[in-house]
Amino acid sequence: MNSAAVVTVTLNPALDKTVTVEGFTTGSLNRVQEVRLDPGGKGINVARVLNNFGVSVLATGFIAGMQGKLLLKALEDEGITTAFVSVPGETRTNLKVVDLATRQTTEINEPGFVVDSARMQTFYQLLDSVLEQTAYLILGGSLPQGAAADTYRELISRAKAKGVKVVLDADGEALRAGLAAQPFAVKPNLAELENLLGRSLQDTEAIIAAGRQLLEQGVELAVISRGSKGAVVLNREEVIVTEPFPIVPQSTVGAGDTMVAALVYALLQQKPLAETAAWATAAGTIAASKAGTQVCTREEVEANLARVKVINWR
């Protein structure tokens, strides 16, 4: 099987159904103004952005049912190479309710299908075969039912054995277990990092200190996203703090995944850390200004790079 510069793994993909309402009210009738259906799941979102940026990318993971066929057809229509393992059941639909009045997004995510150990082994073999000439492996999102909590640790170990750098974007126990295998980079958002450490991070200095804890665990690059406040990006030599430009938010779904894609694009281009941080922040900001999980273009990011405030913290 042909390899790619970047391989993205989405073990629990979804069709993202985004509905737009004016004044969302629980317990009563809400009339939908707009509906979007997009391929979803963190790794798939990253693959779509990288493909848009002109990067050779392969999307892999598990897939099931008629919804899965729709998802694969959508990726094929975008020109994205895929290699998914089919499993019984049905690919989930994740509902995103965007309230135009409050600019808030309510997410209702289904659990998805169940995988067994035999199909996990099939996926491990598939991944081994596609990583031969890969520079970066992107792991993101929730694990499917039936997958072991340390699945990401296993995937990271396999990738590192082949000299592939891993970027991990996960939450909870999946993030904790993945960190044990020392991925190259991690991209938690602030809430995920606070959850991991079990404490509140009230200011930039506290976030930087928490980022350094990640580096002490063997991570080489930490990107901590702070939503509308930007990001903290650090390696062992530098700390960069970014502040985004103002936008009218449409949907924050996929903004973090867009940051990961831009991060990897900048790493492939061997850009310095400050510029890499600006790329990630600009891309995530643009994504948040779009409805549904629409992907941004490289040209849009380049046009807005100078609007990102980049602070060399030390």
Other beta carbons within 10 angstroms of residue 6's beta carbon come to 27
Helix H or strand E encompassing 102: none
Q: Could you tell me which residues are beta bridge partners of residue 107?
A: 96
Q: In whole angstroms, what separates CA 13 from the centre of its chain? A: 12
Q: Could you tell me if 79 and 47 are in contact, meaning their C-beta atoms sit under 8 angstroms apart?
A: no
Amino acid found at 165: K
3-state helix, strand, coil split of the chain in percent (to 5) is 40, 25, 35
Nearest to 125 by CA among 180, 85, 96: 85
Distance, in Å, from the CA atom of 108 to the CA atom of 95, rounded to the nearest integer, reads 5
148 CB-side CA count, 13 A: 13
- Which of 38, 150, 169, 257 is flagged as catalytic? 257
Instruction: Mark out the alpha helices in 162-304 (DSSP H runs).
Output: 172-179, 190-197, 204-216, 255-268, 273-288, 298-304
Residue 243 phi/psi, 5-degree rounding, is -125, 125
Catalytic, 257? Answer yes
Sign of CA dihedral 268, 274, 275, 279: positive
Q: Could you tell me if 3 and 58 are in contact, meaning their C-beta atoms sit under 8 angstroms apart?
A: yes
Residues designated catalytic: 257
